[in-house]
Amino acid sequence: MSSGTTIVSVAARQVYSDRGHPGIEATVKTENGAVGVALCTAGISVGQHEVEFAYDGGTKWRGRGVQKAVDNVNRIISPVLKGMDAGRQSEVDDALLNLGGPGAKLRLGGNATAAVSAAVLKAGAAGLGIPLYRHIGGVNACTLPVPGEISFMGSDRYGGGRRSGGKPSYSFMAYGFETFSDASYAIWDISTEWRERLNQKFAIPKVSRTSHPVIQAGVIRHDREIWDLMIETVHRLGYGGKVGFQVDVAAGTYYEKDKGRFVGLFSAEDKTRDDLMRLYRQMVKDYPFIILEDPLDEDDYEGHALLTRELGIQVVGDDLFTTNSERLQKGIEAGAANTVLLKVNQIGTMTEAFEMVRLAYRNGYGVMPCDSRGEGADIGDYSVGLNCGTIRECATGPRGNRLLQIEAELGKRAEFLGKKGLKGKF
């Protein structure tokens, strides 16, 4: 029995994403009137092993229009999913993955399948009358993640990283607190002070909380100047030992194969892998870095394994794993990283993403959700539903509001792991 969660319509349209470029929005409706709406969009830096999206090409939208993916949903996917049960996610995703035979994601576009799959998940939860996090994790969904907020980003300081989309990005991460609410406030407090300090020291204009400070070329000579200001700000407000640093390096986007060097990463000097590894050791020794994401090239499993063993902190694979079970398995065998970044739109369906999560947990890896592909406030539900210890940013704004709401709903059952939610032994 479907209990009214039978799918009666599936539709899609092209919309503006929060990054300004086109994304695909899918809407799924069920027999009992429930509605699930989900967006899938491209990321800032995209790993070469991610699922391929369907784009229109041509000159309009600079080739990145998604009307082709929209048409695939409305004309091909919709007729197949009508009559299926939105409460049976794996069955729906199996139909998506095998629509027309193997290779459906490649033909339809990973953006088309991901948007529909996520919309089905939300429609299923709404149709059953339960929160999304409960639909995902059942009665055991009660863990609130260690949150943060981006402190600054920018890739053109030293002439490299043209493919990075503004990486590396740095964040303050609040772990030394009893509740998510307390951690959220600490991040708000420190981020407010941080913007003032940036303006005072580097004459960087204050920006809204929905924008991120950017360090332009010629202002500093090494990112160490920023790390110094970050640690000064943390201690100025009395958060030493409670707030650490996270950096999404996206190192592969700085690697130039013809030179065999990382160009313009952290400073103007070209760097070998060994140079970077020495720098990471010094960073962790001298500053409260607790999370490194994609610190080396996206196919360097050996290097990531060495760093994971040596640094004793949370090492996250994003471009390294791309929410892909096969790539994660390879990382597990090599001992590369100890946490996988979860971007459900990297792989194409919710079922595949959740299979990857289970593989990570079975092998002692952490899972760190990220909302950069259009997940929005739903990322809070994914995090709690999967009992994740950490999350990319999400301390404030709409994502933070959703996590605060979930914390209130859970009441005494809400559990904030704090430092225990982090991987490593820092």
Residues 306-334, mean pLDDT to the nearest whole number: 97
pLDDT at 423 over 90: yes
Residues 308-332, mean pLDDT to the nearest whole number: 97
pLDDT at 166 over 50: yes
- Three-class secondary structure of residue 292 per DSSP: strand
As a whole number, the mean pLDDT across the chain is 93
Please report the pLDDT score of residue 79 as a whole number. Answer: 98
46-64 pLDDT, tens digit each:
667 788 899 999 999 999 9
pLDDT at 294 over 70: yes
pLDDT band for position 158 (50/70/90)?
confident
pLDDT band for position 162 (50/70/90)?
confident
Q: How many CA atoms lie within 13 A of 121 on its CB side?
A: 29
Please report the pLDDT score of residue 307 as a whole number. Answer: 98
Where does 137-421 sit in CATH, by number?
Answer: 3.20.20.120
Element (H, E) at 369: strand 366-369
- Measured CA distances, 352 to 49, 96, 114, 238, 338 (Å): 15, 11, 10, 42, 20
pLDDT band for position 1 (50/70/90)?
very low
Assess contact for 168 and 265: CB atoms under 8 A. Answer: yes
Please report the pLDDT score of residue 153 as a whole number. Answer: 84
Please report the pLDDT score of residue 43 as a whole number. Answer: 65
Please report the pLDDT score of residue 44 as a whole number. Answer: 60
Please report the pLDDT score of residue 21 as a whole number. Answer: 85
Cβ neighbours around 50 below 10 Å, total: 21
Question: Of 3.30.200.20, 3.40.50.300, 3.30.390.10, 3.40.50.720, which CATH number belongs to 7-129?
Answer: 3.30.390.10
Return d(Cα 377, Cα 38) in angstroms, integer: 11
Return d(Cα 313, Cα 389) in angstroms, integer: 14
pLDDT at 45 over 70: no
Domain definitions of the chain by residue range: 7-129, 137-421
76-85 pLDDT, tens digit each:
999 999 999 9
In terms of Cβ atoms closer than 10 Å to its own Cβ (0-12, 13-18, 19+), residue 206 is exposed
